[in-house]
Amino acid sequence: MTSQLSTDVVATLAEPVTLPCGAVLPNRLAKAAMSEQLGDRRNRVSGDLVRLYETWAQGGSGLLVTGNVMVDPTALGEPRNVAGADPEGFRRLAGSVRGTGVQLWVQLNHPGRQSPRFLSRRPVAPSAVPFADRRLRSVFAPPRALTGAEIEAVVDKFAETAATAVEAGCHGVQIHGAHGYLVSQFLSPLTNQRTDDWGGDAVRRRRFLLDVVDSTRLRIGDRVPLSVKLNSADFQRGGFEEDESLAVVRALGEAGVDLLEVSGGTYERAAMMGATRRSTVEREAYFLDYAAKARQVSDVPLMVTGGFRTAGAMAEAVRDGALDVVGLGRPLVVDPDLSNQLLAGTDVPARRLCPKTGVKLADSWLEIQWHTQQIHRIGAGKAVQPERGAVRSLATALLSDPLNALRRVRA
């Protein structure tokens, strides 16, 4: 027999959230961004992507944040990313939540040097710094440094794509400033070794992000939610560290950001996948310690994603003031209806069912591939396969990834 949640827990999770811009999230639960890999052959919004968000829109979460929408079609992180300002595609995507009361925000990104060799033979970055990890150097080509004019053009692309999405009916946007992508590269002294107006010290390293925020706000207006996903740290010696991150939080609050999502790590140190866990695990979320410090420097609303397993822990974090919005990612792939069940008072865990091989490197890749394949099933109108095994998932990935790579090789 399924147990029931206390009325206090349900009431806490069901409480609406009013953002600084005036927009209201209908409850405290959000589907965090996960890369869907469901763009079509022209990297536009596909029917499967729309169907996926129709499913999640019926699942009870008050906020849905899309996966990577790359602002430059010539700079992809994955072959099937949605990319560029696509008015008709964004219109169809916005229609996926129509009539539900759910907020749909488009996550905007640029991969920088994190564009694989089969997509970018010469990716761009703040500085011409290749990956230190030898295995990653085999995947990603050494980048070239962006010129000042190119940097300003990328800033414009973020703002243009945001404006197109909002004009098409999407409710808000999120700037991806974490996980080692271009914004994160500008913030880190390891990857930003410039000495001009875009680097050289902490203030100039954060200029790119703040210019993206300011330009985007100018295009979408003051009443549209604007969010940033930010690393608490990149967990690399000499990289973007917590004190500098907190200074960025303060600056983002002053810039009028409506919701800050806390994350951490890069491809080289994947804390966002749970690889770097400290005492926060005891409270079921990876980044709550950092969120408490962010509260001390800014009153910007906070969303924390990663590690939550029970409704009780989610509600406790909200009641304690540690966060305003609970971000759920992979548990909503395993069970797209999870938020509905929690809000109805059913005590069900936020499950992670990905199988393991016991080989650390293989399991890191498997974690992504297994969930991506389940996302594709949902997008195709099929049921999730919780029993899908490691061998089958890896074999499918080994077959599909090269086929996708052949579809569109970038110069």
Among residues 32, 78, 28, which one has the least CA distance to residue 330? Answer: 32
More confident residue, 361 or 216: 216
Separation CA 294–CA 232 (nearest Å): 9
Q: Is residue 75 pLDDT above 80, yes or no? A: yes
Give the CATH number of domain 7-354; options: 3.20.20.70, 1.10.569.10, 3.40.50.720, 3.40.190.10.
3.20.20.70
Tens of pLDDT, residues 191-234: 999 999 999 999 999 999 999 999 999 999 999 999 999 988 66
DSSP state of 71: S
Which tokens sit at 159? Answer: 């703002």
Using pLDDT thresholds of 50, 70 and 90, give the confidence band for residue 306: confident
Q: In the chain, what are the domain boundaries?
A: 7-354
Q: Is residue 338 pLDDT above 80, yes or no? A: yes
Q: Which amino acid, 102?
A: V
> What is the per-residue DSSP string for 203-249?
HHHTHHHHHHHHHHHHHH-TTS-EEEEEES---STTSS-HHHHHHHH
Contact (Cβ atoms closer than 8 angstroms) between residue 32 and residue 329: yes
Tens of pLDDT, residues 110-147: 999 999 999 999 999 999 999 988 888 999 999 999 99
Strand, coil or helix: 356? coil
Segment 76-96 mean pLDDT: 96
Q: Is residue 185 pLDDT above 70, yes or no? A: yes
Q: Is residue 265 pLDDT above 60, yes or no? A: no
Q: Note the pLDDT of residue 132.
A: 87
Using pLDDT thresholds of 50, 70 and 90, give the confidence band for residue 235: low
Q: Is residue 276 pLDDT above 60, yes or no? A: no
Alpha-carbon dihedral angle through residues 280, 282, 284, 290, given to the nearest 10 degrees: -10
